Amino acid sequence: MIMTVGELGESGVLARVLARLGHAENALVGPGDDCAVLRSAGDTVVTSDTMIEGPDFRTAWHDGRDLGWKLAATNLSDVAAMGARPTALTVSLAVPRDTPVAFLEAIASGLDAACRALAPGCGVVGGDLGTAPVVMAAVTALGDLEGREPVLRTGARPGELLAYAGDLGLAGLGLSLLFERAADEDGRALAGAVDALHAEFGVPLAAQLAPESPVRLGVAASIAGASAMMDVSDSLSIDAARMAEASGVSIELDSSLLAEGFSEQRGVHVPVSAMLTGGEDHGLLAAFPAGAALPAGFRVIGRVAESGASEATRLRLDGAPLEPSGWDPYTVRWPGS
Amino acid sequence: MIMTVGELGESGVLARVLARLGHAENALVGPGDDCAVLRSAGDTVVTSDTMIEGPDFRTAWHDGRDLGWKLAATNLSDVAAMGARPTALTVSLAVPRDTPVAFLEAIASGLDAACRALAPGCGVVGGDLGTAPVVMAAVTALGDLEGREPVLRTGARPGELLAYAGDLGLAGLGLSLLFERAADEDGRALAGAVDALHAEFGVPLAAQLAPESPVRLGVAASIAGASAMMDVSDSLSIDAARMAEASGVSIELDSSLLAEGFSEQRGVHVPVSAMLTGGEDHGLLAAFPAGAALPAGFRVIGRVAESGASEATRLRLDGAPLEPSGWDPYTVRWPGS
């Protein structure tokens, strides 16, 4: 018999979830009071990101553990992108009453595993549980700048190098595979087909379902002198254009550098077009002064130039204007949603 | 013509929402980068709370401004309950595509108004927007302990006074009125009846829809020496029992003190039974050493005693065991939900 959250009740579910979560090093007070209490060495960074069943994930594709991992990774990478060390997460979960308790336990395990792997010392310090017609998870991540200045997206300067660390385009390829091979003709997710896909396309699927954001490289980039940094969540072209606009510069991407650095990722061939438009990799895009020693993991993919004469020339690929493309959750209607 | 979020798109909606939000004093970096950056004088407290259309609110009863106010107030009161000064909120909103943009603008106005009224200097520093089948709002609040120790729920000691500040039972009365007079026989919310109810029962309705949590009294209670403090969200009886259990003591409530302090609230008569079982007032329950000078706004409602021999005697009313009662979102099935 499968125990559901409606049968077990809030306090029972909470106890099961908390049992899966490790301690956050900076937490003076963890879950269980009105608030958690955190001690920081420097200024605090904070970010929130939500995943909702339908537009953001399908339970037919995402098991609980991968979902928990992705929830943590997407937020940790935003903290990393400021040059901060992640210290704590809060997690708000709302699920239908008939959801198995084991699904929430798996989410907790995934959150914990991602913290341990990507940001040791960080842990879940609070949150809440509720009911909703679909699975909804809102995560807030906090980080400690430890006395360093934050690395903003506004700091890129002409003459600097543009570099990237992490998967690039793999998560987008994973999503394409899921729609092509694990969905019906109306775009509805089919659970049965996912196991076979994992066997054949494990790398892009894992990149999509449980991304390995290079969280530790955020602090490393800051120490190495990064002048601007961003988490790439929507797509390289969209996020590079955002950095160019925020910094008042233009950005020149170089397809041969992209191909050299990222054509072959863990045995998978990734075309440059997929690198430019695929979203959800949660890698780090950073600008470094020309003489900087880049931390291992960053590869140069272009350079920062003077602001173009118009919006259309903010972003260029091999010298030609490049239209940023990716997706907007409000305007892209997913099939079946 | 009514503009919907699906028509306007994410960046357009975001710009409209941000225009309604004031600055957070402690924010070195506000919305627009991967994270906000906050400077604190002391340790940071953090809490998250979610409201979902259906179990937590009905749009037929709650307009956007009241919803935004309540989202802020419920989280600010958790920060206050630690003895901290609220500094920042992050807000994750997900709504159906056909939601009018004006509804999100009203939520933003309500968030901003609650910050200005209840916690001046606090503001929204980040968040995200998405789509969902019903309105979902997840808020995280941060606060600054400014060098003080946090006031936990574990610190109540035998011989101390138990005191309460804020509305008590009014929000529960407001909810009962809504179900009795602004819902059909299946419990479905009816928008049309709410205006008339506001005219006749403005105080309990406002307490339910846009609670005035005594946020400033959290810091005052800490400075006055409160040994334990909690936000009362589920009900006085449930939350007092939680404090008793966490502190390893028993709590004796006194019905004559409750009646003396809270029978008459802004012209509304509130029976003691409603004070004990009504939820969502978001007042502050605190224990103070016997000689402490209570901050104006707190009224003594009982005392802290030695731990009882059994679970059943942790909470007493006039010397007799009191069964805590209120609600559990997972087990109470709302009509129409």
* ipTM associated with this complex: 0.94
pLDDT of residue B329: 44
Determine contact: B14 vs chain A, CB below 8 A: no
Q: Which of residues 80-109 of A touch B (CB under 8 A)?
A: 81-82, 84, 88, 90-92, 94, 97
Q: Which of residues 24-43 of A touch B (CB under 8 A)?
A: 28-29, 32-40, 43
pLDDT of residue B313: 82
What share of chain A in percent tops pLDDT 90? 85
In angstroms, the CA A226 to CA B3 distance is 41
Q: Kindly identify which residue of chain B lies nearest to residue A50, measuring between CA atoms.
A: B92
CB-CB: which of B78, B328, B331 is closest to A35?
A: B78
pLDDT band at A327 (very low <50, low <70, confident <90, very high): low
Identify all chain A residues contacting B34, using CB atoms and an 8 Å cutoff: 47, 78-79, 81-82, 153, 229-231
Residue A337 has pLDDT above 80, yes or no: no
Distance from CA of B267 to the nearest CA of A (A): 31
A40 vs A336, residue with greater confidence: A40
Tokens representing A26 are: 């900076």
pLDDT band at B327 (very low <50, low <70, confident <90, very high): low
Place of tokens 């939520």: B107
B90/A46 Cβ within 8 A? yes
Angle formed at CA A249 by CA A247 and CA A251, multiple of 5 degrees: 110
Q: Which parts of A are annotated binding residues for substrate?
A: 56, 280, 327
**A123-131 and A85-95 beta bridge pairing:** parallel
pLDDT of residue B310: 74
Identify all chain B residues contacting A8, using CB atoms and an 8 Å cutoff: 330
| Contact by Cβ (8 Å): B273, B230 | no
A46/B38 Cβ within 8 A? yes
| Contact by Cβ (8 Å): B230, B94 | no
| Digit-coded pLDDT (tens) for B273-311 | 999 999 999 999 999 999 999 999 999 999 999 997 677
pLDDT of residue B186: 79
Tokens representing B162 are: 């138990």
Sequence-distant (≥ 6) Cβ neighbours of residue A258 within 8 angstroms: A168, A272, A275, A276, A301
Domains of chain B: 5-144 (3.30.1330.10), 161-321 (3.90.650.10)
Instruction: Count CB-CB contacts under 10 A for residue A319.
Output: 9
| Digit-coded pLDDT (tens) for A263-274 | 999 999 999 999
Place of tokens 């060495």: A41
Q: Which amino acid is at B168?
A: L
Identify all chain A residues contacting B15, using CB atoms and an 8 Å cutoff: none
Identify all chain B residues contacting A6, using CB atoms and an 8 Å cutoff: 330-331
pLDDT of residue B284: 98
Identify all chain B residues contacting A230, using CB atoms and an 8 Å cutoff: 34
Three-state SS string over chain A comes to: CCCEHHHHCHHHHHHHHHCCCCCCCCEEECECECCEEECCCCCEEEEEEEEEECCCECCCCCCHHHHHHHHHHHHHHHHHCCCCEEEEEEEEEEECCCCEHHHHHHHHHHHHHHHHHHCCCCEEEEEEEEECCCCEEEEEEEEECCCCCCCCCCCCCCCCEEEEECCCCHHHHHHHHHHHHCECCCCCECHHHHHHHHHHCHHHHHHHHCCCCCCHHHHHHHHCCCCEEEEECCCHHHHHHHHHHHHCCEEEECHHHHHHHHCEECCEECCHHHHHHCCCCCEEEEEECCCCCCCCCEEEEEEEECCCCCHHHCEEECCEECCCCCCCCCCCCCCCC
Query: For testing the chain A interface, which of B44, B90, B98, B232 should be mutated: the one with the most A CBs within 10 Å?
Result: B44
| Contact by Cβ (8 Å): B164, B260 | no
A306 closest CA partner among A254, A243, A252, A250? A250
Tokens representing B272 are: 């003691």
Q: For residue B250, how many C-alpha atoms fall within 13 Å in the half-sphere facing its CB? A: 21
Averaged pLDDT of chain B:
93
In angstroms, the CA B305 to CA B225 distance is 18
A45/B36 Cβ within 8 A? yes
Distance from CA of A229 to the nearest CA of B (A): 9
Q: Is B298 exposed, middle or buried (0-12, 13-18, 19+ CB in 10 A)?
A: buried
In angstroms, the CA B81 to CA B224 distance is 13
Q: Which of residues 109-148 of B touch A (CB under 8 A)?
A: 125-134, 136, 138, 140-143, 145
Q: Which of residues 202-221 of B touch A (CB under 8 A)?
A: none
Instruction: Count CB-CB contacts under 10 A for residue A197.
Output: 18
B45/A38 Cβ within 8 A? yes
Per-residue pLDDT, averaged over A77-85, amounts to 98
In angstroms, the CA B91 to CA B112 distance is 12
A51 closest CA partner among B125, B107, B99, B132? B132
| Digit-coded pLDDT (tens) for A271-296 | 999 999 999 999 999 999 999 999 99
Residue A20 has pLDDT above 50, yes or no: yes
CB-CB: which of A36, A54, A78 is closest to B45?
A: A36
A167 closest CA partner among A278, A48, A47? A278
Residue B334 has pLDDT above 60, yes or no: no
Per-residue pLDDT, averaged over B97-123, amounts to 97
Q: Kindly identify which residue of chain B lies nearest to residue A6, measuring between CA atoms.
A: B330
Q: 3-state DSSP call for residue B108?
A: helix
A151 closest CA partner among A217, A77, A82? A82
| Digit-coded pLDDT (tens) for B214-246 | 999 999 999 999 999 999 999 999 999 999 999
Averaged pLDDT of chain A:
93
Per-residue pLDDT, averaged over B190-211, amounts to 91
Number of H helices, E strands in chain B: 11, 15
pLDDT of residue B169: 95
In angstroms, the CA A117 to CA A216 distance is 10
Instruction: Count CB-CB contacts under 10 A for residue B292.
Output: 18
Residue B188 has pLDDT above 70, yes or no: yes
